[in-house]
Amino acid sequence: MKPTKIADGIYDVGVIDWNIRDFHGYSTDRGTSYNAFLVIDEKVALIDTVKAPFADQLIGNISQIIDPRKIDVVVSNHTEMDHSGSLPHIMHRIGEEKPLYCSKLGAQNLVSHFSNNWNYHPVKEGEDLRLGARTLTFMETRMIHWPDSMFTYLKEDHILFSSDGFGQHYAGFDKFDDQAGADLMVQAKKYFANILLLYAPRILNLIEKVVASGIRIDMICPDHGVIWRKDPGRIIDAYLRWSRQETEKKAVVIYDTMWKSTETMANAIAEGISSTGVNVKPIHIRSSHRSDIMTDVLDAAAVVVGSPTLNNQMFPTVADVLIYMKGLKPANKIGGAFGSYGWSGEAVKLVAEELEAMKFKMVAPGPRLQYVPDDAGKAACIEYGRQIGEAVNAG
């Protein structure tokens, strides 16, 4: 990948990881990129680096523009290793006496990661760094999504270097939002649902604070995926919706099944939901990745979960999805539980308890059917789905 000029004297010198397919249990079926940015002024600044295996590519990209030894300062917005892994290589190449700007917690984390004596410059909220005609301003964004996280804003060009905010796991030569296809917002939504949803209240406060300040943003440069140059407001507006956990007139019926009985119930419940005019999507867990399921959960008004009983417990794949979902703290959801069993039947109660623990508003106890659903059982499932749909319509 060659460097991409994004403005006069500003370049994306990052790399593409075409082959990654898993990121902390999140499916990256489109690969990803690790973006790093070079700002050339009287002083030259490198903002973020890349994952360690790509260090030589990063150096090669920088070398196409300037001698890396001419870099005067390095900014580390976030110490997670996909962005800091190449720092030892970079610092050794440019000179370890060069200043490294990061948050206070970033300095602590980098020392813990790399056991070094680099020339750290921990910054304060709103602190400026003059590069010459240009100025970098540092914005603390703690817990979006690590304690050390911060954004860097280039004042004169109105460019926000947003670290892991506003990104997507999306590999491609189309480096800008106006070049990317329709899948862009799908990947952005998936990224938010699986990485940032837990921090939605903090993200909402940050965006509202930035909007209230009147700061102008003409371009957003995240550390993963495309750069927002044509319409940065599009992703900001989406983050506001997602951070408020606004829902659509939509339900998901998430289930696994052993001998198709729970699947029969799921389809009947979906039929009942659909009869009320609510959009519904049945999702078979073993045919879907947990991160794709979570993407559908993000803006669903109702989440209905079905499980057979195995060894007096819910089915293991259902437990996996619920634990994953619980950690991301979705809110403003209607919940439902259902399932089939052979002779003990604890799963429905256990699923309902997990949804209640997530503060979902539970509809009346869901169907719990033994063995193969008969016509009466299917009718009960359709009726339960209708109740779910009516609850969605009632808001």
Angle, alpha carbons 251-327-187 (nearest 5°): 60
Q: pTM of this prediction?
A: 0.96
Average the pLDDT over each of 109-123, 236-250, 374-388 and give the range with the smallest value: 109-123
**The pLDDT of residue 358 is above 90:** yes
> Is 90 exceeded by the pLDDT of residue 196?
yes
> Is the Cβ–Cβ distance between 38 and 65 less than 8 Å?
yes
Note whether 144 and 196 are within 8 A (CB). Answer: yes
Per the CB < 8 A criterion, the answer to whether 76 and 46 are in contact is: no
Q: Please count the other Cβ atoms lying within 10 Å of the Cβ belonging to residue 114.
A: 15
Residue 146 banded pLDDT, cuts 50, 70, 90: confident
Contact 301, 394 (CB under 8 A): no
Q: Tell me the pLDDT of the chain averaged across its residues.
A: 96
Q: Is 158 exposed, middle or buried (0-12, 13-18, 19+ CB in 10 A)?
A: middle
* Mean pLDDT within 130-134: 98
Q: Looking at the predicted structure, is the pLDDT value of residue 25 above 90?
A: no
Q: Is 174 a catalytic residue?
A: no
What would the mean pLDDT of 32-37 be, rounded to a whole number?
Answer: 98
pLDDT above 80 (res 348) = yes
pLDDT at residue 18 above 80? yes
With 90 as the cut, is the pLDDT of residue 182 above it? no
Q: Tell me, yes or no, if 284 is annotated catalytic.
A: no
pLDDT of residue 123: 97
Contact at 8 Å (CB) between 6 and 229?
yes
pLDDT given at position 395 = 87
Contact at 8 Å (CB) between 246 and 261? Answer: no
Under the banding of pLDDT at 50, 70 and 90, the label for residue 132 is: very high
pLDDT at residue 158 in the model: 98
CB neighbour class for 284 (10 Å; exposed up to 12, middle 13-18, buried from 19): middle
* Sign of the alpha-carbon torsion through 109, 160, 47, 117: negative
pLDDT reported for residue 24: 87
* β-strand pairing of 44-47 with 37-40: antiparallel
Q: Determine the 3-state secondary structure of 12 from DSSP.
A: strand
| pLDDT band at 143; cut points 50, 70, 90 | confident
The number of angstroms, rounded, from the C-alpha of 146 to the middle of its chain's C-alpha atoms is 13
384 confidence band (pLDDT: 50, 70, 90): very high
Of 11, 78, 101, 199, the catalytic one is 78
Q: Reply yes or no on whether the pLDDT at 1 is more than 80.
A: no
Provide the pLDDT for residue 210: 84
Hey, what amino acid is at 222?
P
Q: In a 10 Å sphere around its CB, with 0-12 CB exposed, 13-18 middle and 19+ buried, how is residue 42 labelled?
A: exposed
Question: Does residue 125 carry a catalytic annotation?
Answer: no
SS3 category, 235: helix
Backbone angles phi, psi at 306, to 5 degrees: -120, 140
Under the banding of pLDDT at 50, 70 and 90, the label for residue 334 is very high
Q: How far apart are the first and last CA of the chain?
A: 48
One-letter amino acid of 333: K
How high is the pLDDT of residue 332?
Answer: 97
Q: What is the mean pLDDT of residues 171-191?
A: 94
Active site residue 169: no
Check if the beta carbon of residue 45 is closer than 8 Å to that of residue 9: no
Q: Can you tell me the mean pLDDT for 189-199?
A: 97
24: annotated active-site residue: yes
Mean pLDDT confidence for 256-283: 98
Return d(Cα 139, Cα 50) in angstroms, integer.
21
Pick the catalytic residue from 11, 17, 26, 145: 145
Choosing from 80, 148, 296, 354, the catalytic residue is 80
pLDDT at 225 (0 to 100): 96
DSSP state of 30: T
Catalytic residue (one of 83, 89, 169, 224): 224
Please compute, for residue 322, the number of CA atoms within 13 A of its CA located in the half-sphere on the CB side. 29
Catalytic, 80? Answer: yes
- pLDDT surpasses 90 at 57: yes
User: For residues 303 and 362, is the Cβ–Cβ distance under 8 A?
Assistant: no
Q: Give the per-residue pLDDT at 310.
A: 97
Least Cα distance to 325 among 351, 287, 364 occurs for: 351
Q: Is 145 a catalytic residue?
A: yes
Domains, the chain: 4-243 (3.60.15.10), 251-390 (3.40.50.360)
Please tell me which residue in 26, 34, 170, 191 is annotated as part of the active site: 191
Question: How far apart (Å, rounded) are the C-alpha atoms in residues 131 and 154?
Answer: 10
Per annotation, catalytic residue among 22, 24, 231, 248:
24
| Residue tagged active-site, from 12, 41, 148, 164 | 164
Predicted local confidence at residue 175, as pLDDT? 94
Confidence class of residue 211 from pLDDT cuts 50, 70 and 90? confident
pLDDT in tens, 274-329: 999 999 999 999 999 999 999 999 999 999 999 999 999 999 999 999 999 999 99
